[in-house]
A and B are shown apart, each in its own frame.
Chain A
Amino acid sequence: QNSISWEVQRFDGWYNNLMEHRWGSKGSRLQRLVPASYADGVYQPLGEPHLPNPRALSNTAMRGPAGLASLQNRTVLGVFFGYHVLSDLVSVEKSGCPAEFLNIHIPPGDPVFDRDQSGDVVLPFQRSRWDPETGQSPSNPRDLTNEVTGWLDGSAIYGSSHSWSDELRSFSGGQLASGPDPAFPRAAQAPLLMWTPPDPTTGRRGPRGLYAFGAERGNREPFLQALGLLWFRYHNLWAQKLARRYPLWGDEELFQHARKRVIATYQNIAMYEWLPSFLRKMPPEYAGYRPFLDPSISPEFLAASEQFFSTMVPPGVYMRNASCHFQGVINRNSSVSRALRVCNSYWSREHPNLQRAEDVDALLLGMASQIAEREDHVVVEDVRDFWPGPLKFSRTDHLASCLLRGRDLGLPSYTKARATLGLPPVTRWQDINPALSRSDGTVLEATAALYNQDLSRLELLPGGLLESHGDPGPLFSTIILDQFVRLRDGDRYWFENSKNGLFSEREIAEIRNTSLRDVLVAVTKVDSGALQPSVFFWHAGDPCPQPGQLSTEGLPACAPPIMRDYFEGSGFGFGVTIGTLCCFPLVSLLSAWIVAQLRRRNLKRLQGQDRQSIMCEKLMGGIKAVEWQGCKEPCRPVLVHLQPGQIHMVDGRLSVLRTVQLRPPQQVNLILSSNHGRRALLLKIPKEYDLVLLFDLEEERQVMVESLRGALKESGLNFQEWELREQELMRAAVTREQRSHLLETFFRHLFSQVLDIDQADAGALPLDSSQKVQEALTCELSRAEFAESLGLKPQDMFVQSMFSLADKDGNGYLSFREFLDILVVFMKGSPEEKSRLMFRMYDFDGNGLISKDEFIRMLRSFIEISNNCLTKTQLAEVVESMFRESGFQDKQELTWEDFHFMLRDHDSELRFTQLCVKGVEVPEVIKDLCRRASYISQEKLCPSPRVSARRPRKDADIEVELTPRRLQYPNDTDPPQEIRRRFGKKVTSFQPLLFTEAHREKFQRSRRHQTVQQFKRFVENYRRHIGCLAVFYAIAGGLFLERAYYYAFAAHHKGITDTTRVGIILSRGTAASISFMFSYILLTMCRNLITFLRETFLNRYVPFDAAVDFHRLIASTAIAHPYPVWSSSVLHSAGHVVNVYLFSISPLSVLSCLFPGLFHDNGSEFPQKYYWWFFQTVPGLTGVMLLLILAIMYIFASRHFRRCSFRGFWLTHHLYILLYVLLIIHGSFALIQLPRFHIFFLVPALIYVGDKLVSLSRKKVEISVVKAELLPSGVTHLEFQRPQGFEYKSGQWVRIACLALGTTEYHPFTLTSAPHEETLSLHIRAAGPWTTRLREIYSPPTDDSCAKYPKLYLDGPFGEGHQEWHKFEVSVLVGGGIGVTPFASILKDLVFKSSVSCQVFCKKIYFIWVTRTQRQFEWLADIIREVEENDRQDLVSVHIYITQLAEKFDLRTTMLYICERHFQKVLNRSLFTGLRSVTHFGRPPFEAFFNSLQKVHPQVRKIGVFSCGPPGMTKNVEKACQLINRQDRTHFSHHYENF
């Protein structure tokens, strides 16, 4: 049933020999006949000085004219049949890995390769693949491996592996697959991996036009191809014959039977017809299969056979048809020549003369009748000079290459080989070839000269060639005969071996007498008469004699050698690519700049129409208009209601913005704009600042004007109307801003004396100032407007009292005139006026009488202020006694007179009292001594004591200020230190706190000591930071060195270091350090983890607070440090750019060694272009994208850009996710080594994701807002529910997102509520778009039900809680600007702890608040007031420093200054701010302050200083602490945080 009865021979030559399975298999070693002779005995080939230059040897020994016929009349067909048999048996042309080169240095002036006499032409020669188990040590020198099966098994026809033969088969009818023309096999297209080098003549590349054969290099010449085609057709012939005979057989049976038969025929012809024609002796008779005979191919056989065939190759080949007509051949340039020139048809694709099957037949017939070249030492130039070149050169010297291949193989010398093979030794150069020495002795002498007469050095190849004359020399013939005999006897599948069951005896006999002629006749269907019986010889009388022995004349010249440059034409493109890579940062810089501009524009637009957006839909009733408030101010939409005698201006939320009084005597004038669509209206009303209204249409304005006229007539006002152009109208209008600015300058002028500034620089009053100032002063302000201009809340105490005092006309409006009068009175009024004023101030209910308790309260506040040593009870007694003495004890109310009388008579008891107006009774002596420095310059001493009203001097009513005050500050009542001591007797129990002047002399130490001290201090302060940085960079550096070492020394077997040593070390080293840096950068951003770890002992070693700075530092070193010299990714990319350049100029054979998975060497030699590396490989493309992303992230994360558009930074920063994804993909391709990034990345990524999950679980919980309050100057106070289980310390901050403003945008704010409170509170200043919109959303609508407030998301708490303050007995909190917010919560927490009297180690807290103006921090004043109220143990003493220059005082600061200086505290509260703490004007003297602290608390060893605010301030505090610590008394440990 199964017709395949024999064991089918394997395609890869395995399992032929029962004992040695590997013999003759594909990839097995060549077995040497003679021991190897390498330079180092192991693998280094012998070289130049020892052996002659190969090209010189080839020029001397093998050069000669073509055209000498073979002495034995061998035909060219025999030569190419020999080549075909050789390609079946052995192939060592595959280049070895790692790539090693032996170079042929062309002697200068070589006619073919060095025509321009440059003398430095080098033909590269690559060593072949060798068995890695050999070549490591002397006893087992390097052996090359055979790429094809070593058996004579038709591997040139069917391929040397089963999968290769599957590709050749058609799987139908047992035939081999054919292309469109059945006579030709299929094309050599992929996936079949035929050898496809570029055509040396035309330079054409690619597999098209080449056929698929069993032998990889079957397409080398058309003549070798012809033989391949012959056997291809012969197989298909047999398949068809068998199919006809056995129709039942399937494809497999047909194929195997045909194959068996073809192989047998091939073996027979090769052994019994071709070999004898060469050696001219018959091999011994077949004596049966000898299983113990090693049939392996020997390197000597390879060299010998290859060499011998090359001498017989003719310069050209005839083509003839069956009737002996030798046809002409059409050349490339369409000229006709006698024969096909060999050198122009190597690797030719779609040769014009070999298109049809008949052409191939003609070629075969031509070869059969053409006599080959003489078998001598001469080789034609087609082979010797124009052989297809393997690397970079289109042509090479075949002989020189074979010589080098011999040296690569380590072939023995000629004499040693003869000795080993038992041939008689040769002692003299002439004995090599006596016939040659007779006919042409010069060749032998020249060769001897090259080997400097040392016969023992003569190599096997030249020796073998020189010895051959007409027949292969004795050495070559013994080697060849021995090899073929071993191949026959050692081959279990030899056709004559009847034991393998292949053939019957009859078949064997039949095969034995089939000759090549029979095959030719069967295949070409030409009658047998056209061919001589033995086609390997052409004897006289055989059919179709050749026209003449071919020589190079009459044949086209060979195409000259050209040098192939792989990088040709891509130099410019490469430069452009690098250019684009370099200007990625520029591109992102540009886009950053554009985004910044966009943001700035829409921020302005946003602030402009912020009121409009909310307002416009709610206006109803009244006349809609837009009030213009000034050129720089935004216009706000208003609703104008006209009531009799009043004009009400209401905004969208119906809260009254402004009411204008229309009282008869005023002269109103109405100005209308005459251009721009006539839609502007200016109403000038005395005592009010002007009202400018803009309407959408002129009609609306007309309606307004009519109603205005009606209202004015009703209230009996006469008014004039005229028209102005709109611009002039705008300029004429005096808006509120202008007015308040005017007032400020006016006040400064007025009080320049008091403010210690000379009038000139108090701000320039506009020219027509007098008239405008008059108007400004008379302008009436409602309570709200008055408060707003002073930056106070309407219900503020100062506003109340001022209104009660100043509003003479009681119309609920206060004009600045009235306000000014009071001030003047206070400043300069007589005591009576003062007491009357004070009386009226305490007459809250304004009935001209003070009730008893009001009076008691006033008295108590006096006594309290002056000397609170009196307890409450003593105080009450004093008051009672006063009442008794003045006989008023039964009077319930006191008139002013009683009030005045009482004060004057009892001043002795009220010794400590002082009129609530300070600046009245400063003891003369004190004032002279005090030195006063104005703000501007410390040195300028102003001798003149300040003008102050003289009250009869009360004796020694020293008012002792408990709070430390700036000495220089001319606070009249603070006698300097010495004075106090003298008066000290009555010193109260409290340790006075006044400071002494900081002594100057101890300060000038030697410069060097100072710097050392400075450095020691620096190291001591940043010990932890330096430690961490050192560890981090040590690891990164270590990784770099490890990779650098590996690729410099250890990775030699990969060979990559030979191609690009520096590039690969640099890139892989930086790659490792990048992987580490980019992975562990995430740890710096695990906020919750950091907040948690801060509390543990780790905080002593790792500075967690500097996480963000550390993050920035890592990022900059990992991406592009300012000086990019040592930033890793730029270095890495540069390294790889160098690699890419080197890879794109190294040949494919080298690349296939470096990247075995990626490249297969199919001879096409050209490497991939640079853009393939950059854009068509996974690492390349992702690398370029990584560069782009990093450029963007780096630019958008720069400090400047973060400030101007944080949102932009935040969005681009989230590209880090994409960055990590790309990084993983980047290394995933395992181009050079296995990916390692994910190993580094896994741990930190998990921790980071965990941290994010912790936040996520917390920050997506909706929290409702309990209270939202709009505080003056853009601050919003938010109070919201405290989520359960939310524990935090004072000073920590949270990140909130408002649902109405996008659930993903979180912003950090410090908690100003104390940890014990049940709600959390934030004070948010409208700084940018987000905070401004937040303020609008939470502005209280009229029906302010808090339910309507949008909810919040909360994430936190984060950051370092200023918890250490309670570790110090005395601590100083310094808050600057917004940095004061953390302290708000600390103060509240502290006061709560002390009030609930839980044991607090801290005895005294000094809170210093430094701010340019209180303008944005009024809310803090409320907090301080609250702290002062419930601070019973007087734990906290607060100092406020206004650092604004006097000349720049705004109205509020001016008032603050005046009150502080001139108004005694009412109820121990500053009249203006209502704070007990004192406000100073100027920069806080930290050194002096710390110095005095040491004196005040001598027993305290360590004082904690906590500063938070702008870097400038914290640096001053730091410097001050260092200065004091240098004196090594109490140690000031300073902790700071910058906002």
Chain B
Amino acid sequence: RLFWMLRVVTSLFIGAVILAVNFSSEWSVGQVSTNTSYKAFSSQWISANVGLQIGLGGVNITLTGTPVQQLNETIDYNEEFTWRLGENYAEEYANALEKGLPDPVLYLAEKFTPHSPCGLHGQYRLAGHYTSAMLWVAFLCWLLANVMLSMPVLVYGGHMLLATGLFQLLGLLFFSTATSLTPPCPLRLGAATLHTHRGPAYWITLTTAISYVSSGVSCPPPRAS
């Protein structure tokens, strides 16, 4: 009984992980604390932490003042720009410009516009699209695996687990190759430069993938038919 309960809980947890990581935006993150200009019509500079979280469907730019209260304002922004298949990123950026977001946020958002010289938009949009597709397929395989493991066909269940792990790995591979094709884009905020590195979502997916592949392979080897 306990073993059965344990198995159900872990498999549910892993399923939730696959889904969550699909929607999270922690795939490649970067954080820098620097002094930058803040808003239009004022020459004051602020010192703040500028965070960049690039997910599969879009990018989150955070600006938190250090300290938060500066120029008797609370500086704590978290803006999201999406480039999923249906949305139009350029329009979102134009609205942001119209809205008058702080300069660093606009600066980073502009880097990801479709025709900005860096070409980040095309890269991340493609990578995000196909990686999330892979993860959806992995999720389906996970569902199938669970169904099969509850049926008397363990060997096929093992195969499905292997497939889930492989699809996740495929997604990760796609994300990392797609995002490392072009030379890195200079993200200069004031004097400091912002570098992005693989985020927690990336590592979580990697670990679940490896665990699945190993459990899939170590599953009862199919009978020599």
A250-B191 CB under 8 A given contacts A7-B37, A1234-B85, A1303-B225: yes
- Residues of chain B within 8 A (CB-CB) of A5 are 43
Kindly identify, within residues 168 to 190 of chain B, every residue whose CB is under 8 Å from any CB belonging to chain A.
182-183, 185-186, 188, 190
Point out the residues of chain B lying under 8 angstroms from A1228, CB to CB. 129-130, 133
Asked if A102 is at the interface of the complex by the 8 Å CB criterion, the answer is no
What chain A residues lie within 8 Å of B41 (beta carbons)? 7, 15, 18
State in angstroms the CA–CA spacing of A164 and B107 once bound together.
Answer: 11
Q: Are A8 and B114 in contact (CB under 8 A)?
A: no
A953 at the interface (CB under 8 A from B): no
Q: Which A residue's beta carbon lies closest to that of B111?
A: A163
How far is it, in angstroms, between the C-alpha of A252 and the C-alpha of B34 when the chains are bound?
13
Stretch at the interface among B5-13, B20-28, B146-154, B208-216: B146-154
B115 beta carbon closer than 8 Å to chain A: yes
What are the residues of chain B within 8 A of A21 when measuring CB–CB? 40, 98, 100
Select from chain B the residue with minimum beta-carbon distance to A1228. Answer: B133
When distances are taken between beta carbons in the complex, the residues of chain B under 8 Å from A1230 are 85, 129
Instruction: Tell whether A1156 pairs with B114 under 8 Å between CB atoms, given A18-B41, A191-B119, A1299-B225.
Output: yes
Contact between A1157 and B125, CB atoms less than 8 A apart: yes
State how many angstroms separate the Cβ of A1456 from the closest Cβ of chain B.
Answer: 45
Q: Report if A1253-B148 is in contact (Cβ < 8 Å); known contacts: A15-B40, A191-B182.
A: yes
* A14 interfacial contact with B, CB 8 Å: yes
Q: Does B79 contact A (CB under 8 A)?
A: no
CB of B45 within 8 A of chain A?
A: yes
Instruction: List B contacts of A1304 (CB < 8 A).
Output: 225
- Inside 8 A of A1256's CB, which chain B residues have their CB? 148, 151, 153, 156
A1234 touches B153 (CB 8 A): no
List chain B residues, Cβ under 8 A from A6.
43
Complex CA distance for A1287 and B181, rounded to whole angstroms: 60
Q: Give the residues in chain B near A108, CB-CB below 8 Å.
A: none
- Cβ of A1157 and Cβ of B156 under 8 Å apart? no
Q: How far is the CB of B39 from chain A (nearest CB, A)?
A: 9
* Chain A min CB distance to B56 (Å): 14
A1204-1249 contacts to B (CB < 8 Å): 1228, 1230, 1234, 1249
- Give A14 to B35 CA distance when docked, in angstroms: 21
Q: What distance in Å separates the Cβ of B134 from its nearest Cβ neighbour in chain A?
A: 11
Chain B residues within an 8 Å CB radius of A10: 40
Chain A 148-183 per-residue mask, 1 if CB under 8 angstroms from chain B, else 0: 000000000000011110110101000000000000
| CB nearest neighbor in A for B152 | A1257
Chain B residues positioned under 8 Å from A944 (CB to CB): none
A794, B9: Cα distance in complex, Å: 65
Chain A CB within 8 A of B92 CB: no
Asked if A167 contacts B86 (CB within 8 A), the reply is: no
| Closest residue of B by beta carbon distance from A1261 | B152
B98-115 toward A: CB 8 Å interface, digit per residue (1/0)? Answer: 101000000100110111
Chain A residues with CB under 8 Å of B97's CB are: 14
Q: Kindly state whether residue B166 has any CB partner on chain A within 8 Å.
A: no
Q: Which residue of B lies closest to A1161 (CB)?
A: B115
Given A162-B110, A166-B186, are A501 and B117 also a contact pair (CB < 8 Å)? no
Query: A558 interface residue, CB < 8 Å from B?
Result: no
- Asked if residues A171 and B188 are in contact (CB atoms below 8 Å), the reply is yes
Contact of A163 with B116 at beta-carbon distance under 8 Å, contacts A15-B41, A501-B43, A1256-B153 already known:
yes
| Chain B CB within 8 A of A725 CB | no
Q: Decide if B118 is an interface residue (CB 8 Å cutoff).
A: yes
Assembly CA distance A1303 to B116 (angstroms):
57
**Is B14 located at the chain interface by the 8 A CB criterion?**
no
* Cross-chain contact A252 with B190 (CB below 8 angstroms): yes
User: Are A7's CB and B42's CB within 8 A?
Assistant: yes
Q: How far is the CA of A190 from the CA of B191 in the complex (A)?
A: 25
- Give every chain A residue within 8 A of B225 (Cβ-Cβ): 1299, 1302-1304
Is A7 a contact partner of B43 (Cβ separation < 8 A)?
A: yes
Neighbouring A residues of B199 by C-beta, 8 Å = none
Given known A171-B186, A1228-B129, contact A4–B117 (CB-CB < 8 A): no
Q: In the complex, what distance in Å separates the CA atom of A251 from the CA atom of B43?
A: 19
**Which residues in A have their C-beta under 8 angstroms from that of B35?**
2
Cβ-based interface call for A856 (8 A): no
Q: Given A167-B117, A1234-B86, A1303-B225, A8–B37 Cβ distance below 8 Å?
A: yes
Residues in B130-159 with C-beta less than 8 Å from chain A:
130, 133, 144, 147-148, 151-153, 156
B41-57 vs A, Cβ < 8 Å mask (1 yes, 0 no):
11101000000000000
Per the bound structure, the CA–CA distance linking A12 and B107 in Å amounts to 11
Question: A1264 to chain B: closest CB distance in Å?
Answer: 16
Which residue of chain A lies nearest to B189 when distances are taken between CB atoms in the complex? A252
Q: Is the CB of A1249 within 8 A of B40?
A: no
Given A2, A8, A14, A161, which contacts B116 in the complex, CB threshold below 8 Å? A161
Which partner residue on chain A sits nearest B45 by CB separation? A2
Distance of A1253 Cα from B45 Cα, bound (Å): 64
* A4 touches which of B45, B122, B133 (Cβ 8 Å): B45
**A167 to B183 alpha-carbon distance, docked (Å):** 12
A1260 contacts partner chain B, Cβ-Cβ < 8 Å: yes
A1248-1263 near B? 1/0 per residue, CB < 8 Å: 0100010011001100
The residues of A that contact B100 with a CB separation of less than 8 Å are 15, 21
A193 to B117, CA, bound (A): 6
A167 to B191, CA, bound (A): 16
Is A192 an interface residue when CB atoms closer than 8 A count as contact? yes
Question: What residues of B have a CB within 8 angstroms of the CB of A8 in the complex?
Answer: 37, 43
Query: Given the complex of chains A and B, what is the CA–CA distance between A1055 and B113 in angstroms?
Result: 23
Closest A residue to B151 by beta carbon equals A1257
Give A329 to B143 CA distance when docked, in angstroms: 75
Tell me, yes or no, whether A1448 is within 8 Å of chain B by CB.
no
A1160 in the interface, Cβ–Cβ < 8 Å?
A: yes
* Complex alpha-carbon distance, A515 and B190, angstroms: 33
Instruction: Report the Cα distance A476→B114, complex, angstroms.
Output: 38
- Chain B residues, CB < 8 A from A193: 115, 117
CA distance A161 to B156 in the complex (A): 56
Give chain B nearest CB distance to A898 CB in angstroms: 69
Q: Point out the residues of chain A lying under 8 angstroms from B188, CB to CB.
A: 166, 171, 252
With A166-B186, A1228-B130, A1302-B225 as given contacts, are A1257 and B144 in contact (CB-CB < 8 Å)?
no
- Check A252/B117 contact, CB under 8 A, given A2-B35, A1260-B152, A1260-B153: no
Instruction: State in angstroms the CA–CA spacing of A14 and B118 once bound together.
Output: 21
Min CB–CB distance B155 → chain A (angstroms): 8
Instruction: Give the residues in chain B near A12, CB-CB below 8 Å.
Output: 110
Measured CB to CB, the closest approach of chain A to B44, in angstroms, equals 9
| 10 shortest interchain CB distances as A-B pairs | A15-B40, A1303-B225, A7-B43, A163-B116, A1257-B151, A191-B119, A167-B117, A192-B117, A250-B191, A166-B186
9 inter-chain pairs at a CB distance below 8 angstroms, sorted by A residue, are: A4-B43, A14-B97, A166-B185, A167-B117, A167-B186, A171-B186, A193-B115, A1228-B130, A1260-B153
Partner-B contacts on A (CB < 8 A): 2, 4-8, 10, 12, 14-15, 18, 21-22, 161-164, 166-167, 169, 171, 190-193, 250-252, 501, 1156-1157, 1160, 1228, 1230, 1234, 1249, 1253, 1256-1257, 1260-1261, 1299, 1302-1304
Seed contacts A193-B115, A1302-B225; 18 additional CB < 8 Å A-B pairs: A10-B40, A22-B98, A161-B110, A161-B116, A166-B188, A190-B119, A193-B117, A250-B191, A252-B191, A1156-B114, A1157-B122, A1230-B85, A1253-B151, A1256-B156, A1257-B151, A1257-B153, A1260-B152, A1260-B153
